[in-house]
Structure 1
Amino acid sequence: MGSCLCVAKGVAEILKLNMALILLPVCRNTIAWLRNKTRLGAIIPFDDNLNFHKVIATGIIVGVGLHAGSHLTCEFPRVLHATAEESAAMKVYFNVVRVPSY
């Protein structure tokens, strides 16, 4: 897969961090504790939580674009140009009708 896999995995980790951080602006007690009891209040503007939420959301949008783009540019051409022998292992996952047994 080369560098596309590294980009996709790296951006996925950044997305996981951003998904956790986007919840921070809505946690009022946590924001008050971080602002008053730690030194992070001098670095991070906790009082401007709406703009912080927008910045994190923008990071998520960019990350989703990079993650999806790296998968699309690497995996689709590989799947489209695969020979019958290369794609034989994947046939068990497609066109299979599974009837649930109750």
Structure 2
Amino acid sequence: MIATLIILFGAFLIIGTWAAFAGFPIVIFGIIIAHYNHHRANKKDDKEKAESAKQIYKFGYLVIVLGILYIGLITALYHTSIEQNSEKIETKQT
């Protein structure tokens, strides 16, 4: 439960581009907690908790991959916007 909340908090930081890179370590911390819970549940032979923890850290991996794609998209749009603005400025000056 705590690992899920940590991963979701990191995901919200990634979505808010002002703190995107701060979100990744938080998500990774949540994944580490979920891995620990998964291994602890496996030692106790609690299959239900082990499967739940496994799904949580898979969700964390998904958040990281989608976060990287999201930041790449925002960066590409930002650079495209800069190029278009510089072209407009050049045509106005000539």
Q: For the superposition of Structure 1 and Structure 2, which TM-score range results when normalised by the shorter chain? A: 0.5 to 0.7
Equivalence for 1:14: 30
Is residue 64 from structure 1 mapped to residue 61 from structure 2 by the alignment? yes
- Name the TM-score, length of structure 2 as normaliser: 0.53
Distance 2:42 2:25 in 1: 28
Other-structure match for 2:7: none
* Structure with a larger share of its residues in helix: 2
Which protein is bigger by CA-based radius of gyration?
Answer: 1
Q: CA deviation at 1:23?
A: 0.7
1:26 alignment counterpart? 42
For structure 2, list consecutive stretches of 5 or more residues without a partner in the other structure.
1-16, 81-94
| Structure 1: runs of 5 or more not aligned | 32-46, 83-102
Q: TM-score normalised to the size of structure 1?
A: 0.50
CA–CA separation in structure 2 for the residues paired with 1:21 and 1:9: 18
Amino acid paired to 1:8: F
Residues 1-102 of structure 1 correspond to what in structure 2 (within 5 A)? Answer: 2-27=18-43, 31=44, 49-75=46-72, 77-78=74-75, 81=79
> Shift in Å at residue 76 of structure 1?
5.3
- Give the drift of 1:79: 6.5
Number of aligned positions between the proteins: 64
Whose relative contact order is higher, 1 or 2, with alpha carbons under 8 Å and at least 6 apart?
Answer: 1
* Aligned alpha-carbon RMSD (Å): 2.5
CA deviations 1:23-62 (Å, max 9, x no partner) are 11222xxx4xxxxxxxxxxxxxxx7x11101110110111
Query: Which segments of structure 1 move beyond 6 Å, counting only runs of 4 or more?
Result: none
Counterpart in the other structure of 1:35: none
Alignment identity in percent? 10
